[in-house]
Amino acid sequence: MKKEQITDKEGICILIIYIIGSTLIIGIGGEAKNDAWISGIASIIMFIPMLLVYSRILVLFQGKDLFDILCIIFGNTLGKIISLLYIWYAFHLGALVLRNFGEFINVLAMPETPMFVSLFCLGLVCIVAVKLGIEVIGRTIAYFIPLIFFTFIVIQLISIHQLHLNYIKPILGNGIISILKGGFSAFSFPFAETVLFIGIFNSLKTKKSPLKVYLYGVLISASIIIIVTIRNIAILGNKVGNFYFPSYEAVSMIRVGDFIQRAEVTVAMTFVFGALIKSSICLLVSCKGIGKLFKLSDYRSIVIQTGLLMIYFSYIVYDNIMTMEYWAFKVYSYYAFPFQVILPVIIWILAEIKVRKANKLTV
Protein backbone atom coordinates (compact mmCIF):
# COMPACT_ATOMS: atom_id res chain seq x y z
CA MET A 1 0.00 0.00 0.00
CA LYS A 2 1.33 3.45 -0.94
CA LYS A 3 2.23 5.55 2.10
CA GLU A 4 -0.12 8.49 2.55
CA GLN A 5 1.38 11.92 3.15
CA ILE A 6 0.04 15.29 4.27
CA THR A 7 1.78 18.65 4.52
CA ASP A 8 2.24 20.56 7.77
CA LYS A 9 -0.41 23.05 6.63
CA GLU A 10 -2.91 20.26 6.00
CA GLY A 11 -2.07 18.71 9.38
CA ILE A 12 -2.74 22.03 11.13
CA CYS A 13 -6.03 22.45 9.26
CA ILE A 14 -7.19 18.93 10.18
CA LEU A 15 -6.29 19.56 13.82
CA ILE A 16 -8.19 22.87 13.92
CA ILE A 17 -11.40 21.45 12.45
CA TYR A 18 -11.14 18.33 14.62
CA ILE A 19 -10.92 20.46 17.77
CA ILE A 20 -13.50 23.14 16.99
CA GLY A 21 -15.99 20.91 15.15
CA SER A 22 -18.39 19.74 17.83
CA THR A 23 -16.94 22.04 20.52
CA LEU A 24 -18.29 25.22 18.94
CA ILE A 25 -21.84 23.92 19.01
CA ILE A 26 -21.82 22.17 22.41
CA GLY A 27 -19.57 24.64 24.19
CA ILE A 28 -17.05 24.25 26.99
CA GLY A 29 -16.90 24.90 30.72
CA GLY A 30 -20.63 24.84 31.37
CA GLU A 31 -19.93 24.30 35.07
CA ALA A 32 -18.26 27.71 35.29
CA LYS A 33 -21.21 29.55 33.68
CA ASN A 34 -20.09 33.11 32.82
CA ASP A 35 -16.50 32.18 33.77
CA ALA A 36 -16.41 29.47 31.08
CA TRP A 37 -13.91 31.49 29.03
CA ILE A 38 -11.48 31.37 31.98
CA SER A 39 -12.00 27.59 32.07
CA GLY A 40 -11.00 27.57 28.40
CA ILE A 41 -7.72 29.33 29.20
CA ALA A 42 -7.13 26.97 32.13
CA SER A 43 -7.68 23.96 29.88
CA ILE A 44 -4.95 25.13 27.48
CA ILE A 45 -2.49 25.54 30.36
CA MET A 46 -3.40 22.01 31.51
CA PHE A 47 -2.98 20.62 28.00
CA ILE A 48 0.43 22.07 27.12
CA PRO A 49 2.39 19.30 28.95
CA MET A 50 0.38 16.64 27.10
CA LEU A 51 0.92 18.45 23.79
CA LEU A 52 4.66 18.13 24.41
CA VAL A 53 4.26 14.44 25.31
CA TYR A 54 2.25 13.60 22.17
CA SER A 55 4.74 15.46 19.96
CA ARG A 56 7.75 13.87 21.61
CA ILE A 57 6.37 10.36 21.10
CA LEU A 58 6.00 11.08 17.37
CA VAL A 59 9.54 12.49 17.15
CA LEU A 60 11.03 9.47 18.95
CA PHE A 61 9.32 7.08 16.53
CA GLN A 62 9.37 8.91 13.22
CA GLY A 63 7.25 7.26 10.54
CA LYS A 64 5.48 5.03 13.08
CA ASP A 65 1.85 5.36 14.07
CA LEU A 66 0.29 4.81 17.50
CA PHE A 67 -0.21 1.07 17.01
CA ASP A 68 3.33 0.48 15.75
CA ILE A 69 4.66 2.39 18.76
CA LEU A 70 2.57 0.36 21.22
CA CYS A 71 3.98 -2.92 19.90
CA ILE A 72 7.55 -1.55 19.95
CA ILE A 73 7.23 -0.31 23.54
CA PHE A 74 5.15 -3.05 25.16
CA GLY A 75 5.94 -6.04 22.97
CA ASN A 76 3.61 -7.90 20.66
CA THR A 77 1.10 -9.32 23.18
CA LEU A 78 0.67 -6.40 25.60
CA GLY A 79 1.01 -3.96 22.71
CA LYS A 80 -1.96 -5.54 20.96
CA ILE A 81 -4.04 -5.47 24.14
CA ILE A 82 -3.40 -1.73 24.58
CA SER A 83 -4.01 -1.26 20.85
CA LEU A 84 -7.46 -2.79 21.37
CA LEU A 85 -8.15 -0.17 24.05
CA TYR A 86 -7.24 2.67 21.69
CA ILE A 87 -9.23 1.12 18.86
CA TRP A 88 -12.22 1.12 21.21
CA TYR A 89 -11.58 4.71 22.29
CA ALA A 90 -11.37 5.96 18.69
CA PHE A 91 -14.47 3.97 17.70
CA HIS A 92 -16.43 5.13 20.76
CA LEU A 93 -15.42 8.79 20.31
CA GLY A 94 -16.45 8.69 16.65
CA ALA A 95 -19.85 7.31 17.65
CA LEU A 96 -20.27 10.02 20.32
CA VAL A 97 -19.54 12.76 17.78
CA LEU A 98 -22.03 11.25 15.34
CA ARG A 99 -24.64 11.18 18.09
CA ASN A 100 -23.95 14.83 18.94
CA PHE A 101 -24.76 15.60 15.32
CA GLY A 102 -27.89 13.45 15.45
CA GLU A 103 -29.19 15.21 18.58
CA PHE A 104 -28.46 18.62 17.06
CA ILE A 105 -30.44 17.82 13.91
CA ASN A 106 -33.23 16.17 15.88
CA VAL A 107 -33.67 19.01 18.38
CA LEU A 108 -33.15 22.10 16.22
CA ALA A 109 -33.50 21.30 12.54
CA MET A 110 -35.59 18.23 11.71
CA PRO A 111 -37.46 17.00 14.81
CA GLU A 112 -39.81 14.85 12.71
CA THR A 113 -36.99 13.03 10.93
CA PRO A 114 -35.88 9.75 12.58
CA MET A 115 -32.47 10.28 14.13
CA PHE A 116 -31.08 7.15 12.53
CA VAL A 117 -31.55 8.74 9.10
CA SER A 118 -29.36 11.72 10.06
CA LEU A 119 -26.74 9.44 11.62
CA PHE A 120 -26.73 7.14 8.61
CA CYS A 121 -26.29 10.01 6.12
CA LEU A 122 -23.34 11.57 7.95
CA GLY A 123 -21.87 8.15 8.67
CA LEU A 124 -21.89 7.24 4.97
CA VAL A 125 -20.01 10.45 4.14
CA CYS A 126 -17.44 9.53 6.82
CA ILE A 127 -17.02 6.09 5.28
CA VAL A 128 -16.41 7.61 1.84
CA ALA A 129 -13.93 10.13 3.32
CA VAL A 130 -11.91 7.43 5.09
CA LYS A 131 -11.97 5.26 1.98
CA LEU A 132 -10.40 8.16 0.07
CA GLY A 133 -7.69 8.50 2.73
CA ILE A 134 -6.04 11.14 4.90
CA GLU A 135 -4.49 12.90 1.89
CA VAL A 136 -7.89 13.71 0.40
CA ILE A 137 -9.28 14.69 3.82
CA GLY A 138 -6.33 17.04 4.36
CA ARG A 139 -6.62 18.71 0.95
CA THR A 140 -10.39 19.13 1.33
CA ILE A 141 -10.06 20.82 4.72
CA ALA A 142 -7.23 23.08 3.52
CA TYR A 143 -9.51 24.16 0.65
CA PHE A 144 -12.53 24.97 2.85
CA ILE A 145 -10.86 26.39 5.97
CA PRO A 146 -10.43 29.95 4.58
CA LEU A 147 -14.21 30.08 4.08
CA ILE A 148 -14.77 28.84 7.64
CA PHE A 149 -12.41 31.50 9.02
CA PHE A 150 -14.12 34.20 6.94
CA THR A 151 -17.54 33.12 8.22
CA PHE A 152 -16.25 33.08 11.79
CA ILE A 153 -14.91 36.65 11.50
CA VAL A 154 -18.12 37.95 9.91
CA ILE A 155 -20.28 36.37 12.64
CA GLN A 156 -18.16 37.98 15.37
CA LEU A 157 -18.34 41.39 13.68
CA ILE A 158 -22.12 41.41 13.19
CA SER A 159 -22.66 40.26 16.77
CA ILE A 160 -20.79 43.20 18.32
CA HIS A 161 -23.85 45.44 18.70
CA GLN A 162 -25.67 42.70 20.65
CA LEU A 163 -22.91 41.94 23.12
CA HIS A 164 -23.51 42.82 26.78
CA LEU A 165 -20.05 42.72 28.33
CA ASN A 166 -21.52 43.20 31.80
CA TYR A 167 -22.80 39.61 31.48
CA ILE A 168 -19.19 38.46 31.83
CA LYS A 169 -19.06 39.99 35.31
CA PRO A 170 -18.42 39.22 38.06
CA ILE A 171 -15.19 37.58 36.98
CA LEU A 172 -14.45 34.56 39.20
CA GLY A 173 -17.92 35.01 40.65
CA ASN A 174 -18.63 31.27 40.44
CA GLY A 175 -15.55 30.32 42.42
CA ILE A 176 -12.21 28.83 41.46
CA ILE A 177 -13.44 25.25 41.91
CA SER A 178 -16.10 25.57 39.19
CA ILE A 179 -13.50 27.13 36.87
CA LEU A 180 -11.07 24.26 37.47
CA LYS A 181 -13.85 21.71 36.91
CA GLY A 182 -14.75 23.45 33.67
CA GLY A 183 -11.07 23.58 32.72
CA PHE A 184 -10.62 19.85 33.32
CA SER A 185 -13.74 19.16 31.26
CA ALA A 186 -12.42 21.33 28.39
CA PHE A 187 -8.99 19.70 28.71
CA SER A 188 -10.45 16.27 27.96
CA PHE A 189 -13.00 17.59 25.45
CA PRO A 190 -11.71 18.65 23.01
CA PHE A 191 -7.97 19.24 23.46
CA ALA A 192 -6.68 15.93 24.84
CA GLU A 193 -8.79 14.05 22.27
CA THR A 194 -5.97 14.95 19.88
CA VAL A 195 -4.10 11.95 21.32
CA LEU A 196 -5.60 10.09 18.35
CA PHE A 197 -3.40 12.16 16.03
CA ILE A 198 -0.48 9.99 17.14
CA GLY A 199 -2.27 7.46 14.93
CA ILE A 200 -2.17 9.63 11.78
CA PHE A 201 0.65 12.19 12.11
CA ASN A 202 3.17 9.62 10.92
CA SER A 203 1.82 10.74 7.53
CA LEU A 204 3.38 14.21 7.91
CA LYS A 205 5.89 14.84 5.12
CA THR A 206 8.22 16.67 7.52
CA LYS A 207 8.92 14.05 10.16
CA LYS A 208 10.42 16.46 12.71
CA SER A 209 7.48 18.91 12.69
CA PRO A 210 4.73 17.33 14.87
CA LEU A 211 5.34 19.84 17.69
CA LYS A 212 4.91 22.78 15.32
CA VAL A 213 1.75 21.27 13.84
CA TYR A 214 0.30 20.46 17.26
CA LEU A 215 1.20 23.90 18.65
CA TYR A 216 -0.25 25.93 15.77
CA GLY A 217 -3.35 23.76 15.49
CA VAL A 218 -4.15 23.82 19.21
CA LEU A 219 -3.43 27.53 19.76
CA ILE A 220 -5.51 28.65 16.75
CA SER A 221 -8.45 26.42 17.65
CA ALA A 222 -8.22 27.41 21.34
CA SER A 223 -8.32 31.09 20.41
CA ILE A 224 -11.44 30.51 18.31
CA ILE A 225 -13.15 28.54 21.09
CA ILE A 226 -12.39 31.17 23.75
CA ILE A 227 -13.62 34.03 21.51
CA VAL A 228 -16.83 32.12 20.74
CA THR A 229 -17.31 31.32 24.44
CA ILE A 230 -16.98 35.01 25.38
CA ARG A 231 -19.45 35.93 22.63
CA ASN A 232 -21.96 33.33 23.82
CA ILE A 233 -21.72 34.58 27.40
CA ALA A 234 -22.03 38.22 26.30
CA ILE A 235 -25.25 37.37 24.43
CA LEU A 236 -26.85 34.70 26.63
CA GLY A 237 -25.49 35.75 30.02
CA ASN A 238 -25.39 33.42 32.99
CA LYS A 239 -27.92 31.17 31.23
CA VAL A 240 -25.28 29.98 28.77
CA GLY A 241 -24.91 26.70 30.66
CA ASN A 242 -28.65 26.01 30.40
CA PHE A 243 -28.59 25.49 26.63
CA TYR A 244 -27.68 22.22 24.93
CA PHE A 245 -26.24 24.12 21.94
CA PRO A 246 -25.24 27.59 23.21
CA SER A 247 -23.47 28.78 20.04
CA TYR A 248 -26.52 28.06 17.92
CA GLU A 249 -28.80 29.84 20.40
CA ALA A 250 -26.48 32.85 20.64
CA VAL A 251 -26.07 33.30 16.89
CA SER A 252 -29.82 32.82 16.32
CA MET A 253 -30.34 36.04 18.32
CA ILE A 254 -28.12 38.10 16.03
CA ARG A 255 -30.04 40.57 13.85
CA VAL A 256 -28.73 43.34 11.63
CA GLY A 257 -31.93 45.10 10.61
CA ASP A 258 -33.80 43.12 7.99
CA PHE A 259 -30.62 42.54 6.05
CA ILE A 260 -28.90 39.78 8.06
CA GLN A 261 -30.96 37.16 9.85
CA ARG A 262 -30.79 33.39 10.38
CA ALA A 263 -27.01 33.57 10.82
CA GLU A 264 -27.24 30.37 12.88
CA VAL A 265 -27.37 28.44 9.60
CA THR A 266 -23.64 29.11 9.20
CA VAL A 267 -23.01 27.68 12.68
CA ALA A 268 -24.99 24.58 11.74
CA MET A 269 -22.99 24.13 8.52
CA THR A 270 -19.69 24.50 10.39
CA PHE A 271 -20.84 21.93 12.95
CA VAL A 272 -21.84 19.44 10.27
CA PHE A 273 -18.46 19.85 8.55
CA GLY A 274 -16.60 19.58 11.86
CA ALA A 275 -18.59 16.52 12.96
CA LEU A 276 -17.86 14.90 9.60
CA ILE A 277 -14.11 15.49 9.90
CA LYS A 278 -13.86 14.46 13.55
CA SER A 279 -15.88 11.27 13.03
CA SER A 280 -13.81 10.49 9.93
CA ILE A 281 -10.54 10.83 11.86
CA CYS A 282 -11.87 8.57 14.62
CA LEU A 283 -13.02 6.00 12.06
CA LEU A 284 -9.68 6.22 10.26
CA VAL A 285 -7.68 5.62 13.45
CA SER A 286 -9.87 2.70 14.55
CA CYS A 287 -9.61 1.09 11.10
CA LYS A 288 -5.83 1.55 11.04
CA GLY A 289 -5.64 -0.09 14.45
CA ILE A 290 -7.79 -3.04 13.40
CA GLY A 291 -5.69 -3.37 10.24
CA LYS A 292 -2.47 -3.51 12.29
CA LEU A 293 -4.01 -5.92 14.78
CA PHE A 294 -4.98 -8.42 12.09
CA LYS A 295 -2.03 -7.64 9.78
CA LEU A 296 -4.20 -6.48 6.90
CA SER A 297 -2.45 -5.09 3.84
CA ASP A 298 -4.83 -2.10 3.63
CA TYR A 299 -7.05 -0.69 6.38
CA ARG A 300 -9.53 0.47 3.72
CA SER A 301 -10.82 -3.09 3.35
CA ILE A 302 -12.62 -2.82 6.72
CA VAL A 303 -13.81 0.80 6.55
CA ILE A 304 -17.37 0.00 5.41
CA GLN A 305 -17.97 -2.66 8.08
CA THR A 306 -16.44 -0.57 10.88
CA GLY A 307 -18.26 2.56 9.71
CA LEU A 308 -21.64 0.83 9.70
CA LEU A 309 -20.98 -0.51 13.21
CA MET A 310 -20.07 3.01 14.33
CA ILE A 311 -23.34 4.38 12.91
CA TYR A 312 -25.38 1.75 14.74
CA PHE A 313 -23.47 2.25 17.98
CA SER A 314 -24.00 6.02 17.78
CA TYR A 315 -27.74 5.34 17.59
CA ILE A 316 -27.86 3.20 20.75
CA VAL A 317 -25.14 4.90 22.83
CA TYR A 318 -27.53 7.37 24.55
CA ASP A 319 -31.17 7.22 25.56
CA ASN A 320 -31.75 10.95 25.03
CA ILE A 321 -30.07 14.35 24.87
CA MET A 322 -30.03 14.72 28.67
CA THR A 323 -27.98 11.53 28.95
CA MET A 324 -25.66 12.89 26.26
CA GLU A 325 -25.07 16.12 28.18
CA TYR A 326 -24.54 14.28 31.48
CA TRP A 327 -21.98 11.97 29.88
CA ALA A 328 -20.19 14.83 28.09
CA PHE A 329 -19.77 17.10 31.12
CA LYS A 330 -19.87 14.76 34.14
CA VAL A 331 -18.45 11.38 33.10
CA TYR A 332 -16.39 11.68 29.91
CA SER A 333 -13.38 13.47 31.45
CA TYR A 334 -12.75 10.60 33.89
CA TYR A 335 -13.45 7.90 31.30
CA ALA A 336 -11.03 9.44 28.78
CA PHE A 337 -8.24 10.26 31.27
CA PRO A 338 -6.38 6.91 30.95
CA PHE A 339 -6.38 7.17 27.13
CA GLN A 340 -5.44 10.85 27.06
CA VAL A 341 -2.97 11.12 29.94
CA ILE A 342 -1.98 7.95 31.81
CA LEU A 343 -1.12 5.69 28.86
CA PRO A 344 0.61 8.42 26.78
CA VAL A 345 2.81 9.40 29.75
CA ILE A 346 3.76 5.74 30.30
CA ILE A 347 4.48 5.34 26.57
CA TRP A 348 6.62 8.49 26.56
CA ILE A 349 8.69 7.48 29.62
CA LEU A 350 9.31 3.96 28.29
CA ALA A 351 10.10 5.38 24.84
CA GLU A 352 12.74 7.73 26.26
CA ILE A 353 14.33 4.84 28.16
CA LYS A 354 14.28 2.58 25.10
CA VAL A 355 15.77 5.21 22.78
CA ARG A 356 18.54 6.12 25.24
CA LYS A 357 19.47 2.46 25.69
CA ALA A 358 19.58 2.03 21.91
CA ASN A 359 21.80 5.12 21.56
CA LYS A 360 24.24 3.78 24.19
CA LEU A 361 24.49 0.46 22.35
CA THR A 362 25.27 2.17 19.05
CA VAL A 363 27.96 4.28 20.74
- Report yes or no on 1 lying in a domain: no
Residue 324 lies in a domain: yes
Q: Is there a domain that residue 43 lies in?
A: yes
More confidently predicted of 105 and 217: 217
> From the DSSP assignment, how many helices (H) and strands (E) are in the chain?
14, 0
Instruction: Judge whether 2 lies within some domain.
Output: no
Q: Let me know: does 33 contact 174? Beta carbons within 8 Å.
A: yes
pLDDT, tens only, 258-305:
666 677 788 788 888 999 999 999 999 999 999 999 999 899 999 999
**pTM for this entry:** 0.95
Q: pLDDT tens digits for 43-97? A: 999 999 999 999 999 999 988 999 999 999 999 999 999 999 999 999 999 999 9
Question: pLDDT at position 3, please?
Answer: 77
H or E stretch covering 48: helix 36-60
Domain count across the chain? 1
List the domain range (segments joined by +) for residue 222: 8-362
The predicted structure's pLDDT at residue 41:
95
**Residue 126 counted as domain residue:** yes
pLDDT band at 28 (very low <50, low <70, confident <90, very high): confident
CATH of the domain at 89: 1.20.1740.10
- Residue percentage of the chain with pLDDT more than 70: 97
Closest to 324 in 3D by CA, of 170, 143, 115? 115
Which has the minimum average pLDDT: 104-108, 139-143, 178-182?
104-108
Taking alpha carbons only, the member of 72, 79, 124, 78 closest to residue 98 is 124
**Mean pLDDT value across the chain:** 91
